[in-house]
Structures are given as structure tokens and as C-alpha cells.
Amino acid sequence: MPELPEVETTCRGIEPHIQGVVVHSITVRQPQLRWLIPDEIGDRVPGQKLLEVQRRAKYILLKFSRGDVIIHLGMSGSLRVLRAGEVAAKHDHFDIRFCNGVVLRLTDPRRFGAVLWQETDQPHKLLLNLGPEPLEESFSAKTFIKAAKGRKVSVKQFIMDNKVVVGVGNIYAAEALFAAAIHPQTPVNQISMDKFNKLVTAIKFILAQAIKRGGTTLKDFVGGDGKPGYFAQELQVYGRKGETCNACLKPLSEIRLGQRSTVFCPNCQRLPRVRKKIDQ
DNA sequence: CTAAGGACCTGTCGGC
DNA sequence: TGCCGACAGGTCCTTA
């Protein structure tokens, strides 16, 4: 579930319930997520007041004066706000109970998610080498041109690389490439300035749009059924293999790139003309 | 350094 | 109905 818009929606959804509230206790039912949940959390967080909720890439940061609880939702994670006393279900691995009776609960069937701790002024190494936020001004075609230098990976894998830009997952990568009319397999060193500009614009627009949608389902989602509903209808290519392209009405194709399914329109998204080798 | 592939884990769906 | 393989929103780590 969690692409960047969902993570952003989660942050906005939980913050009003817990900001400024002191933590009562921590419950770890299953410490073995992607990494072991560190003991520091249970040791240091109770008694501290939550200052704010921030997002960096797809990491959720619960800020305390001594440090931050870092939560990543992986593939299948979600956070919900509940009242204390709710019985935990099978994949409810981690709770933070606050002194106002609110419980923040992490559910994650596949356990690719993570709960980590970073001490103030000792940033976690996972957050150190992240690229720019896609919605910040600092992310532009220039970012891409610089990062693409000397690289031959497909443009889709390139935009999903967190060192290049964060927060572009499999769904929105496919959607942005469709919007920019770029074939996902195009080697990134063959992308023109013009296409890079279109791609950046598409990424920003699509993510911002999805976050707006997330805003609409916010209430439900805090209420606890965790069912986001913002996409589905808006998607042009993701999950639509074999269906008709909304632009040209020809069927959409699917290929695999970096072991990820990649749907695109072979008619609207063309590979650039192969440069003729001049070798005589 | 880059690129490719494996690894982590559970649930669901399609085919036989 | 049951079993089995393929696949699913992420991304780190190892290897070449």
C-alpha cells in the first residue's frame, strides 16, 4: 500500500491525535520486522512528549527531544490510531500508547517494514544517503541530468532509485512515465532535456494529486479500516495490462524491469530512435 | 563506482 | 475443493 502519498497521508492523519502528548508505554509483540526493533525505544520513549510527526522519503519520524522513532511501512504496513484497550490482531506488531488514551498501532503482515530509533544529532544511516524530496523545489530536471551522468539503467529504475529522488514507487513511476510519454526501458543517458523536464513535472503533479486524494480519505483511515481509496480510478497504466490506453485506445503492454512489473503504452511511450553507428 | 539479483515475509489469486 | 506457483505497494545487501 504505501507509496509516498500514503505515507504523507498517514503522517497528517496521526499527528493531530498525538502531537504534544506524552508517551505512556511501548508494546512490542513481534520485534522481528525487517530489522529487530531496538530496545532503546522501550527504554527511552515512555515519559517523553511527542513534539511532531515528520516524513522523510517514506520514513515516518516521530520526533522526541531525545531522538526519533523511525517507522517504515514496507510493502504492507499501516499505522492506525485507536483507543487504548483494543485487542491486537495477528499482525499488530507494535504499539505506542499515549497518556491521552490513544494508541498508535503498526500492523504489517509481510514485515518488510521497520521501527528504528535515532538519537538526536546521530542520524540513522538509512536516512543519510537519500536523494531530494520530489515535491521540494530542489528537485528539478537538473537533479536528473546530474544523476544520470554515466549511467545506463532504464529510466524507470533510475527514478525509483532513492539516491536520485525519494518516494517514487512502482505505481507512480509507471504513471509518471506514461504522463511524460517516455518508454520505461529508455536508458537514462538517452533522455533529452525536454523529456526530463516533462518527467519531473509529471512526478510532482501526480504525487501532489495523490496526496490531495489521501486528504479526502483521511477520516476513514484514522477511524481504522485502513482502506485507502484515492487511486484506482485515476491510474492510467498501473495494473491495466492488456486494457486500452486512455490516450490512443491501443492495448497496454507489460514488461519486467528490475523484477518489477511495468505497464506502459507501446504506442504513446516510444524508445528514442537508435542512433546509427558510424563505424566506417 | 555501476548494475543485477537475492533476500526478507505473508496473503491472495489463477490455473489445473 | 485443494494444492502449487507466481506475484504483490519496498529497498537493503551481496556479488560481479
Q: What is the pLDDT of residues A131-144, one digit of tens each?
A: 999 999 999 999 99
* A120 pLDDT above the threshold of 80: yes
Asked if A166 contacts A132 with a C-beta cutoff of 8 angstroms, the reply is yes
> So what's the pLDDT on residue A149?
96
Name the strands in the sheet holding A114-119, side by side, starting at the edge strand that comes first in the sequence.
Answer: A52-56, A59-63, A67-72, A114-119
Question: What are the Cα distances from residue A11, in Å, to A67, A71, A89, A178, A193?
Answer: 17, 11, 22, 28, 34
Chain C nucleotides near the protein (CB, 7 A): 7-12
Residue A32, strand partner residues: A36
Q: Which residues contact A51 (CB under 8 A, 6 or more apart)?
A: A19, A20, A63, A64, A65
- How far is it, in rounded angstroms, from Cα A53 to Cα A57? 13
Name the nucleotide nearest A187; use CA and C1'. Answer: B3
The residue with cell 483511515 is: A221
Share of chain A above pLDDT 90, in %: 88
Catalytic residues of A: 2-3, 58, 260
Per-residue pLDDT of A64-111, as tens digits, reads: 999 999 999 999 999 999 999 999 999 999 999 999 999 999 999 999
pLDDT at A212: 87
Residue A262 predicted with pLDDT over 60? yes
pLDDT of residue A214: 77
Q: What is the pLDDT of residues A159-190, one digit of tens each?
A: 999 999 999 999 999 999 999 999 999 999 99
Q: Alpha-carbon distance A23 to A64, whole Å?
A: 10
Tens digits of residue pLDDT in A24-59: 999 999 999 999 999 999 999 999 999 999 999 999
What would the pLDDT profile of A206-221 be if each residue is shown by its tens digit? 999 999 887 444 344 4
The alpha helices in chain A, defined as continuous H runs, are 4-18, 39-44, 141-148, 155-159, 170-179, 193-223
- CA A140 → C1' B13, Å? 40
The pLDDT score that the predictor gives to residue A234 is 84
Which nucleotide is the nearest neighbour of A258, by CA and C1'?
Answer: B4
Of all residues in chain A, what percent are helix, strand and coil, respectively (each to 5)?
30, 25, 45
Average pLDDT of A184-198? 97
Q: Which residue's CA is nearest to the C1' of nucleotide B2?
A: A151
